């Protein structure tokens, strides 16, 4: 029993101390732009009502998941194509290396100019940000597949879609997951930027709206929600990753313990 | 039925031609258990990869069950030396064995049946649900053999399959291969650098020279059919045959004076 | 078409040449498509227009001040993040109790998108540069900290015992044992941090403005709908990113010259 | 012993660094001046025609006369200026009345010190314009369900457009607003990203050649309506009441001078915006009343309650000195 108590203390210890110090440090704060933590917490329930969730949080999330999904599909699709073909890879590598280096936010103004500020642009902005880490890590993963396995596939006549599905994609999955995690954090940033640069709904828009309306505690609560979104998505990602890569972690553990 | 006629394989590398296989002509009759042995680095693996359609020979021809080999031929299965790397780590043992059957287009029920039988045949009846990396080296190689059996090949190629396994496990696996061969009756080509293993297992031992490789001698093993580690290995005839092969290999290694040129895999 | 098959075949085996062919092909493609009308030339100017816009930009003093502005903000933010990341990483990493106590906090703060802090940054810091630096430091700090923590916890226990058996003091242990093992991880952290820092620098310039930088130049170009120069600025941002990647990889090779190239970037 | 203290020190700095990141102290550069040397004063403004008087007053030396060394800082909209004034980075700022009333309703510590500018008397010829491109939109009522560009959300533009739609028998809650900076609004309307823009000079003249239609303006809500004011933080008013008094006096003088010399206004505008002299000549100038128009305050107060921006009217005396 004490062991689990100990573990809980460790997990909640520091966060509790930090929150408490912030609570008291900001308690007496008269500064308009740094309201007491207490007011922020008090304002939370009636700011983030079910209606607000439906009108702003849900649109943001839908755009994020569609954009992130597309980034994965396009990134992995092209990645497998390029990774498997040596000549295609050396043909495209310099271009990809350059396009990857472009900081995604730079593309937002041009995308707004071209496609306007509707939802399609917001999704496009997210895809453009997220596709690069996925694409390049997939190419890396596909390139690094074990050639003994590749020979096994050839001799046992496993090819076509079966080969891609059960060999190439699975063998490259640890590296693809690295790319997918990087893409997730970039996509969240791009989601917010897309909403800050001219939007009529969404999380980023709401935070700007609060700021323009001098609703500072609500603005802080909006920042909390954005932060929480990042944390929850990262947690969800870890759970999915643990399931998708349990074979990988098992194999590495076996290998490391000299099995 | 395996027919190799004047097979030659060179590795071209910026003007430096490395002749892995000089000229090999060899025939293995249906159902025969042939072992191939030779000094290390004499292109045994290159020969096997040409037979398996994984490497295209520079000249000469390979026929499996009467058809010329241009790519991996039908009815042929290979068991690789690096058992760990030839099994899919993300598939459970049962799934590893089942995968080639899927590409053959067999219906589900039949596939499940073959998987269970193959596992029983290699003594891993209840390991179907485990992941390969949860098993020992020996057991992983058994899974690779089970996968080969499940493929129901007419010809099975084994590329030094027990080189990376400890001695005791190797003895069990040798006996397993013989039982499998007897039971399923496929043509077996067993490549090894271990002379004792070649004589113990094979109905015939093919001795290769060092590179440029050619067949030095075909030796028929007239030991009794049912062999076991104790009796056969202490049998005088076994020792006689083994010494003969050892002498010829030593002679091949020393004959052309230069140390064997390392061949690219 | 200029590239006939023989060239492709001869270039086939030499990747560098093939890469060049790829680049030229990409440029040529972007030249032809708008001219032929497949892409609306108004929003997709042909490459030649972009190049000439680029040349004009190079001629403008304001442009170089902007590049200098972006690079300085990026470097300042990166340096703060790297120093803080390494120091905190080693301190937290080498004291197991601290490591356990801070694990949950780190895991909570790390995924918070730094751009969420934007509204706070604008309000907390009146000087725009400070707000942008807050974003840059916050985003890149975690990249370094996490990798350094991995490095410190990856110190081979056997090595640690031998060091203890020779009664190496904690400070000397840090210097001769912890640091060499952590360095490769730190370098990975720095490489990742450099890329993220650049993204946030330009994001800050775009959204907060008020500082000399590529982001601001793009805002100005967007207002006057100077599309070719917008593309030129995007190309410049890409080049800065490319140079940053090459520079950090180069630094990595120099710093880790002694280290066997075996360095795993942990797929976390 | 030294080592353990060193580690402890590092741990403390780490903790301090993290809380500092949350707290964050800004660097209010409040440079207090001795009576002799002039007060260094920074004012946050938006690069539009509304602030021409303060630029003119600086050029004419009205501020130096009041012993004030004036610097004018440009920002996108009121929303960025208010925080800077509250934090002390700017001593004074320029903002539209609606944002100021909204701030007062949320107890933002700000006080109005002088009038900024007013709409003209003629609704058809004002310094502002609600402009549309689509010929199908002929009157404010047609904006229902459409998207209108405003330089900042929740400011006087939305209040004005809502009132125009309401007066035309339409339902203002059906109009959507998106934040687009003045210089980008023309491109947004051109590309069809928004169906209407609300511009002030010099931008109204710069889009003239496009031949788009104007269906409303500030003046259409109420002639000579007060649009914007200059304000300061309550803290500065408390500590330096004398400076505020001198600043207001110089500003009133500038407003009167600007209202009397339209051609000098047109000339000065070309110095702080990108407008060319010929377009500046065609500009319609706002009215620059020296006095604060309390009637407009109450009018806008009421409209904000109608729009739901305020739950109850603001006690404007809190905003005025």
Question: 3-state DSSP call for residue C42?
Answer: coil
Residue D311 forms contact with A (CB below 8 Å): no
Structure-token pair, residue D134: 């689509």
Chains that touch A (3 or more CB pairs under 8 A): B, C, D
Q: How far is CA A213 from CA A45, B121, D152, in A?
A: 18, 76, 10
Residues A214 and C99: their CA atoms lie apart, in Å, by 40
In a domain, C3, yes or no: no
Find, in chain A, the residue whose alpha carbon is nearest to that of B72: A155
Based on the fold, state whether residues D168 and D211 are members of the same structural domain.
yes
B33-47, B70-84, D28-42, D48-62, range with greatest mean pLDDT: D48-62
What's the predicted TM-score (pTM) here? 0.82
**Average of per-residue pLDDT across D281-291:** 90
Q: Say if residues C125 and D26 touch (Cβ distance below 8 Å).
A: yes
Q: What is the pLDDT of residue B259?
A: 45
Structure confidence by residue, pLDDT tens digits, D241-273? 999 999 999 999 999 999 999 999 999 988 888
In this prediction, residue B35 has a pLDDT band, given cuts at 50, 70 and 90, of: very high
Residue C246 forms contact with A (CB below 8 Å): no
User: How many beta carbons lie within 10 A of that of residue B254, not counting itself?
Assistant: 10
In this prediction, residue A118 has a pLDDT band, given cuts at 50, 70 and 90, of: confident
Would you say the C-alpha torsion C184, C185, C188, C190 has a positive or negative sign? negative
| DSSP label at residue C257 | T
D49: nearest Cα among D277, D244, D317, D283: D283
| DSSP label at residue A57 | I
Which residues of chain C fall below pLDDT 50? Answer: 1-4, 11, 261-268
Domain range for C108: 67-255
What does DSSP say about strands B213-220 and B204-208: parallel, antiparallel, or unpaired? antiparallel
Residues of C in contact with A115 (CB under 8 A): none
Q: What is the pLDDT of residue C174?
A: 74
CATH number for the domain spanning C215: value is: 1.10.3720.10
In a domain, D7, yes or no: no
Higher-pLDDT residue of A214 and C222 is A214
Q: How far is A25 from chain D (nearest CA, A)?
A: 8
Q: What is the pLDDT of residue A61?
A: 94
Number of domains chain C is built from? 1
Q: How far is C115 from chain A (nearest CA, A)?
A: 6
In a domain, D312, yes or no: yes
Residues of C in contact with D202 (CB under 8 A): none
Residues of A in contact with B85 (CB under 8 A): 146, 148-149
**Average of per-residue pLDDT across A163-173:** 92
Residues of D in contact with A208 (CB under 8 A): 153, 179
In a domain, C101, yes or no: yes
In this prediction, residue A90 has a pLDDT band, given cuts at 50, 70 and 90, of: confident
Residues D275 and D277: their CA atoms lie apart, in Å, by 7
Find, in chain C, the residue whose alpha carbon is nearest to that of D88: C126
- Are residues D21 and C122, on separate chains, in Cβ contact within 8 Å? no
Q: Say if residues C92 and C99 touch (Cβ distance below 8 Å).
A: yes
Chains that touch B (3 or more CB pairs under 8 A): A
Q: Over 80: is that where the pLDDT of A94 sits?
A: yes
Domain boundaries of chain B, sorted by first residue: 2-75+153-255
In a domain, D27, yes or no: no
- Does A contact B via 3+ CB–CB distances below 8 Å? yes
**Average of per-residue pLDDT across B121-134:** 92
Q: What is the pLDDT of residue A84?
A: 86
Report the residue from D14, D183, D274 with minimal CB separation from C88.
D14
In a domain, D30, yes or no: no
Chains that touch D (3 or more CB pairs under 8 A): A, C
Residues D257 and B90: their CA atoms lie apart, in Å, by 82
The DSSP-derived string for D47-113 is SSGGGHHHHHHHHHTHHHHTTEEEEEEE-SSHHHHHHHHHHTSSSEEEEEHHHHHHHHHTT--EEEE
Residues D94 and A116: their CA atoms lie apart, in Å, by 31
In a domain, C265, yes or no: no
Residues 248-267 of C with CB under 8 A from A: 265, 267
Find, in chain D, the residue whose alpha carbon is nearest to that of C210: D75
Residues 142-161 of D with CB under 8 A from A: 147, 152-155
Question: 3-state DSSP call for residue B216?
Answer: strand
**Average of per-residue pLDDT across D162-177:** 93
- Most distant CA pair in chain D, distance: 82
Higher-pLDDT residue of A170 and A26 is A170
Higher-pLDDT residue of D57 and B264 is D57
Q: Over 50: is that where the pLDDT of D25 sits?
A: no
Q: What is the pLDDT of residue D91?
A: 92
- Are residues D84 and C126, on separate chains, in Cβ contact within 8 Å? yes
Domain range for D136: 128-221
Report the residue from C124, C127, C223 with minimal CB separation from D183.
C223
Q: What is the pLDDT of residue D23?
A: 38
Residues C65 and D184: their CA atoms lie apart, in Å, by 24
- Residues C93-117 as b/e (b if ≥16 CB within 10 A, e otherwise) read bbbeebbbbbeebbebbbbbbbbbb
Q: Over 50: is that where the pLDDT of B70 sits?
A: yes
In this prediction, residue D5 has a pLDDT band, given cuts at 50, 70 and 90, of: very low
Q: How far is D238 from chain C (nearest CA, A)?
A: 21
> Residues of A near D (CB-CB distance < 8 A)?
18, 21-22, 25-26, 32-34, 112-113, 116-118, 198-200, 208-209, 211-216
Q: What is the pLDDT of residue D148?
A: 94
Pick from D205, D221, D237: which residue ends a domain? D221
- Does D contact B via 3+ CB–CB distances below 8 Å? no
Q: How far is C153 from chain A (nearest CA, A)?
A: 15
Q: Which domains are delineated in chain A?
A: 50-202 (1.10.3720.10)
In this prediction, residue D77 has a pLDDT band, given cuts at 50, 70 and 90, of: low
What does DSSP say about strands D196-200 and D147-150: parallel, antiparallel, or unpaired? parallel
**CB-based contacts of A117, cutoff 8 Å, min separation 6:** A197, A198, A199, A200, D178, D188, D193, D194
In a domain, C222, yes or no: yes
CATH number for the domain spanning D208: value is: 3.40.190.10
**Fold designation for B2-75+153-255:** Rossmann fold (3.40.50)
Q: What is the pLDDT of residue B189?
A: 93
In a domain, C86, yes or no: yes
Q: What is the mean pLDDT of chain C?
A: 82
Q: What is the mean pLDDT of chain B?
A: 87
In a domain, D310, yes or no: yes
Structure confidence by residue, pLDDT tens digits, A16-62? 888 888 888 888 887 777 888 888 889 888 888 888 888 899 999 99
Residues B49 and B72: their CA atoms lie apart, in Å, by 9
Residues of D in contact with A200 (CB under 8 A): 147, 176-178
Based on the fold, state whether residues D115 and D229 are members of the same structural domain.
yes
* Residues forming a β-bridge with B213: B21
C181: nearest Cα among C93, C88, C92: C93
Q: What is the pLDDT of residue D18?
A: 36
- Does A contact C via 3+ CB–CB distances below 8 Å? yes
Based on the fold, state whether residues D277 and D145 are members of the same structural domain.
no
Q: What is the pLDDT of residue D260?
A: 93
Q: What is the pLDDT of residue D21?
A: 38
Q: How far is D176 from chain A (nearest CA, A)?
A: 7
Q: What is the mean pLDDT of chain A?
A: 88
Residues B204 and B215: their CA atoms lie apart, in Å, by 13
In this prediction, residue B255 has a pLDDT band, given cuts at 50, 70 and 90, of: low
Find, in chain A, the residue whose alpha carbon is nearest to that of B137: A259
**Average of per-residue pLDDT across D53-57:** 94
Residues of B in contact with A149 (CB under 8 A): 85-86, 88
Based on the fold, state whether residues D209 and D242 are members of the same structural domain.
no
């Amino acid at each position: 029993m004490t062991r689990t108590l100990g573990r809980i203390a460790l997990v909640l210890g520091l966060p509790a101390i930090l929150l408490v110090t912030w609570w008291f440090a900001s308690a007496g704060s008269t500064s308009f732009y740094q309201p007491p933590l207490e007011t922020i917490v008090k304002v939370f329930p009636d700011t983030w009502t079910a209606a607000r969730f439906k009108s702003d949080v849900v649109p943001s999330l839908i755009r994020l998941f569609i954009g992130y999904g597309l980034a994965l599909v396009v990134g992995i699709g092209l990645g497998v194509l390029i990774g498997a073909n040596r000549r295609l890879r050396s043909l495209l590598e310099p271009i990809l290396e350059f396009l990857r280096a472009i900081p995604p936010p730079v593309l937002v103004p041009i995308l707004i100019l071209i496609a306007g500020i509707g939802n399609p642009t917001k999704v496009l902005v997210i895809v453009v940000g997220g596709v690069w880490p996925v694409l390049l890590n997939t190419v890396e993963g596909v390139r690094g597949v074990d050639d003994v396995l590749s020979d096994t596939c050839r001799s046992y006549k496993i090819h076509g879609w079966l080969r891609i599905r059960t060999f190439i994609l699975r063998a490259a999955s640890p590296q693809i997951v690295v790319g997918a995690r990087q893409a997730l954090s970039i996509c969240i940033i791009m989601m917010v930027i897309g909403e800050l640069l001219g939007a009529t709904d969404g999380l980023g828009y709401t935070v700007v709206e609060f700021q323009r309306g001098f609703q500072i505690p609500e603005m802080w609560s909006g920042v909390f929600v954005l932060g929480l979104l990042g944390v929850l998505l990262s947690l969800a990602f870890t759970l999915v990753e643990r399931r998708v890569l349990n074979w990988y972690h098992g194999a590495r553990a076996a290998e490391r313990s000299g099995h | 039925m395996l027919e190799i006629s004047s097979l030659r394989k060179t590795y071209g590398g910026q003007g430096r031609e490395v002749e892995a296989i000089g000229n090999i002509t060899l025939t293995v009759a249906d159902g025969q258990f042939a072992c191939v042995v030779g000094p290390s680095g004499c292109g045994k693996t290159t020969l096997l990869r040409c037979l398996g359609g994984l490497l295209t020979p520079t000249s000469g021809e390979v026929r499996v069950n009467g058809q010329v080999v241009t790519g991996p031929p039908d009815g042929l299965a290979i068991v690789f030396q690096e058992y760990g790397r030839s099994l899919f780590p993300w598939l459970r043992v049962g799934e590893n064995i089942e995968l080639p059957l899927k590409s053959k287009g067999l219906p589900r029920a039949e596939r499940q049946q073959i998987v269970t039988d193959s596992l029983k045949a290699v003594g891993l009846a209840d390991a179907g649900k485990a992941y390969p990396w949860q098993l020992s080296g020996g057991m992983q190689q058994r899974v690779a053999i089970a996968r080969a059996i499940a493929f129901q090949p007419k010809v099975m190629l084994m590329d030094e399959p027990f080189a990376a396994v400890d001695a005791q496990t190797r003895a069990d696996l040798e006996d397993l291969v013989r039982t499998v061969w007897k039971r399923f009756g496929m043509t077996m080509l067993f490549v090894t650098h271990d002379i004792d293993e070649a004589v113990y297992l094979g109905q015939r031992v093919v001795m290769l020279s060092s590179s440029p490789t050619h067949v030095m001698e075909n030796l028929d093993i007239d030991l009794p059919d049912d062999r076991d580690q104790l009796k056969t290995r202490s049998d005088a005839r076994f020792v006689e045959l083994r010494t003969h092969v050892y002498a010829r290999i030593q002679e091949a290694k020393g004959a052309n004076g230069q140390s064997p040129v390392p061949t690219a895999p | 078409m200029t590239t006939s098959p023989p060239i492709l075949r001869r270039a086939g085996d030499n990747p560098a040449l093939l890469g060049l062919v790829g680049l030229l092909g990409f440029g040529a493609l972007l030249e032809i498509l708008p001219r032929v009308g497949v892409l609306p030339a108004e929003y997709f100017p042909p490459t030649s227009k972009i190049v000439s816009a680029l040349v004009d930009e190079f001629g403008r003093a304001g442009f170089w001040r902007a590049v200098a502005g972006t690079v300085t903000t990026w470097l300042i933010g990166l340096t703060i993040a790297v120093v803080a990341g390494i120091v905190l990483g080693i301190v937290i990493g080498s004291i197991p109790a601290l490591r356990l106590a801070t694990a949950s906090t780190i895991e909570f703060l790390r995924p918070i998108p730094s751009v969420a802090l934007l509204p706070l940054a604008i309000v907390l810091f009146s000087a725009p540069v400070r707000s942008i630096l807050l974003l840059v430091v916050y985003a890149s700090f975690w990249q370094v900290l996490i990798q350094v923590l991995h490095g410190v916890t990856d110190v081979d226990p056997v090595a640690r015992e031998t060091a203890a058996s020779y009664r190496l003091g904690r400070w000397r242990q840090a210097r001769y044992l912890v640091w060499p093992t952590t360095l490769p991880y730190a370098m990975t952290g720095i490489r990742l941090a450099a890329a993220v820092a650049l993204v946030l620098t330009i994001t800050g310039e775009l959204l907060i403005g008020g500082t000399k930088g590529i982001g601001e130049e793009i805002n100005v170009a967007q207002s006057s709908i100077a599309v070719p120069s917008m593309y030129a600025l995007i190309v410049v941002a890409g080049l800065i990113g490319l140079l940053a990647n090459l520079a950090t990889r180069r630094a990595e090779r120099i710093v880790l010259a002694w280290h066997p190239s075996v360095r795993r970037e942990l797929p976390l | 012993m030294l080592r353990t203290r060193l580690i402890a020190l590092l741990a403390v700095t780490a903790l301090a660094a993290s809380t500092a990141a949350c707290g964050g102290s800004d660097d209010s550069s409040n440079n207090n001046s001795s009576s002799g040397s002039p007060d260094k004063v920074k004012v946050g403004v938006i690069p539009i025609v509304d602030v021409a008087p303060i630029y003119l007053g600086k050029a004419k030396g009205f501020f130096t006369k009041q012993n004030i060394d004036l610097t004018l800082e440009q920002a996108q909209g009121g929303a960025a200026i208010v925080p800077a004034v509250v934090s002390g980075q700017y001593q004074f700022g320029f903002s539209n009345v609606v944002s100021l009333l909204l701030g007062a309703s949320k107890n933002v510590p700000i006080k109005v010190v002088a009038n900024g500018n007013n709409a003209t008397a003629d609704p058809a010829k004002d310094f502002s314009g609600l402009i549309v491109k689509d010929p199908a939109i002929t009157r404010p009522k047609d904006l229902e369900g459409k998207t209108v560009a405003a330089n900042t959300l929740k400011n006087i533009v939305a209040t004005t457009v809502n009132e125009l739609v309401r007066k035309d028998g339409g339902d203002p809650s059906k109009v959507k607003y998106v934040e687009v900076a003045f210089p980008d609004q023309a491109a947004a309307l051109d590309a069809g990203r928004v169906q209407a823009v609300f511009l002030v000079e010099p931008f109204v003249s710069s889009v003239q050649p496009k031949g788009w239609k104007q269906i409303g303006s500030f003046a259409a809500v109420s002639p000579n309506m007060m649009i914007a004011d200059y304000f300061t933080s309550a803290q500065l008013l408390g500590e330096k009441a004398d400076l505020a008094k001198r600043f207001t006096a110089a500003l009133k003088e500038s407003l009167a001078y600007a209202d009397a010399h339209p051609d000098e206004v047109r000339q000065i505008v070309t110095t702080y915006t990108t407008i060319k002299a010929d377009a500046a000549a065609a500009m319609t100038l706002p009215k620059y009343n020296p006095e604060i128009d309390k009637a407009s305050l109450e009018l806008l107060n009421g409209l904000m309650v109608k729009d739901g921006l305020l739950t109850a009217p603001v006690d404007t005396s809190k905003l005025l000195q």
